[in-house]
Chains A and B, each alone.
Chain A
Amino acid sequence: MLSARNLHVTFNAGTPIETRALRGMSLDIPAGQFVTVIGSNGAGKSTFLNAISGEQGVDEGAILLDGEDVTRQPVWTRARKVARVFQDPMAGTCENLTIEENMSLAFGRGQFRSLRSAVRAEMRDLFRERLAMLGLGLEGRLTDRIGLLSGGQRQAVSLLMAALRPSRILLLDEHTAALDPRTAQFVLELTARVVSEHRLTTMMVTHSMRQALDVGDRTVMLHQGRVVLDVQGEARRGLDVPDLLAMFERVRGETITDDTLLLG
């Protein structure tokens, strides 16, 4: 499970463009839960995700994965427990490498890398089997450069790669945002399938309120670097996009009032 406690991140501290991206952000995600995260631009979604992955250091607070404090661990050490799919389809794979080489890299996540051959016959069988579930015919193209694939195909492969090794948390960073609507739908359905098949603890950042309510078990809304809404179960099932939008507006209004009070 993931436990983020009182995270603070400030960019350009002490300068006129100081931005307090996270202001006491706390969130617990129990094992096996699929959480969707929404919030406007600058709400701290990406910063929060990067703080968990280790790409963004935190000024204050702690991040625990299965009880282990990983706050000070670099990205590559945390990778043992954290799997990730990036927003940019180009970011999650090495375009110069073949499909099987990319998958082999992901198959080595959290493993000791030695001078053994990187792609072996038994791996190829596993890769083919996983790729076949996409129904894109990629299982016959293991030695093709991954740069030859479309953005959607690369994103689908990235998802499979993230699930090749167990993780304590799977981070999805608006991973359908760069795709056309049909491909986005395909990748989203694939996400739901992969997550439930491997029972992955997942945190998905999204811009789409529709997506946030349609997939997963719980929705969290961020605003100004804090959790302002957290719904799951019965309460969440009854929610629709307009409700969420209304809550969003109200939250925004409240914080503005807060600020006014502070200024007063």
Chain B
Amino acid sequence: MSIYSVWGALEIGLIFGLVALGVLISFRILNFPDLTVDGSFPLGGATAAILIHHGMDPFLATACATLAAGLAGMVTGWLNVSLRIMDLLASILMMIALYSINLRVMDAPNVPLINDPTVFTVLQPEGLDDYVARPLILLALVVAVKLLLDWFFATQIGLAMRATGSNPRMARSQGIATGGMILLGMAISNALCGLAGALFAQSQGGADISMGIGTIVIGLAAVIVGESIMPSRRLVVATLAVVVGAVIYRFFIALALNADFIGLKAQDLNLVTAVLVTVALVIPLLKQRLRRKGA
């Protein structure tokens, strides 16, 4: 692995750290299996790219992208809460709808950002190469988001949201409007994925309609890898673990794709992802079986 691909893996890993934090909120905290992510990640990318392309300030464009994705998450929540559609199905519906919406947003299958300013070009310090600056900027952002989430989930509203996911009946009996909490949580979760998509588009030189495929699997992989290397029930540990999980996962992918002797190519990425997630999911079962055999 070259030094470029190490920084590159860190960069992409950190961006997917944001997705992992979003997935942590939906899957783990709200207990809401949410596939909207596959649509809200490219929605963030598409929105940011088209706005920057039309001359909007990249920070404002990124904020709009985050907001748009948050709104998409809220719609999934609304389908589930108000229209009583099963959570998984509601998110699949939203994911499919977003495919068309993303095409509309971009008015083309892709929007390149070649010479346009991005949050990275604006923030890049003098004398630092861009491939080093981008991961460092992302690191600062991801740490800030992690700390913000830690703070939020220790507030009264944040605790009410955790109770909603953990025991909705109890939450309601304590006066928590659980429906509202699901809407808010889904909005935050997808907003983070939209932010990740916006940053991904700006770091990779544009948005593409297919950029969202498999986002949820990568997010889940990060959560699962993170939980297995740093197992803890404490949320402050979990928010760190999933980000670390996302980076580690990305390094594995980079290694697999860079090791020529295996013969893998870039188009094998999703297959490698699926295999990695399967392995991560099966390990606990194998451990259990081994223990039983030993006993």
Binding site for B on A (CB under 8 A): 53, 55, 74-77, 79-80, 82, 84, 86, 91-97, 101, 104-106, 108-111, 113-119, 145
Contact = CB atoms under 8 A, between A and B. Distances in A.
Say whether chain B's binding surface is mostly helix, strand, loop, or mixed: helix
Nearest to A171: B173
A145 B160 CA distance: 16
Contact of B159 (A53, A75, A76, A118): A118
A247 B35 CA distance: 58
B176 A117 contact: no
A97 B175 CA distance: 17
Say whether chain A's binding surface is mostly helix, strand, loop, or mixed: loop
Contact of A105 (B154, B155, B171, B233): B171
A109 B175 CA distance: 5
Contacts, number: 88
B177 interface: yes
13 contacts: A76-B175, A76-B177, A94-B167, A94-B170, A101-B159, A101-B162, A105-B170, A109-B175, A113-B176, A114-B157, A115-B155, A115-B156, A118-B154
Top 6 closest A-B pairs, CB basis? A79-B175, A118-B159, A113-B156, A94-B166, A75-B172, A115-B155
Nearest to A78: B175
Contacts of A55: 169, 172
Contacts of B178: 76
B117 interface: no
Nearest to B28: A96
B173 A75 contact: yes
A113 to B, nearest CB: 4
A167 B131 CA distance: 60
Given A96-B233, A105-B160, A118-B159, A79 B166 contact: no
Contacts of A108: 156, 160, 174-175
A97 B154 contact: no
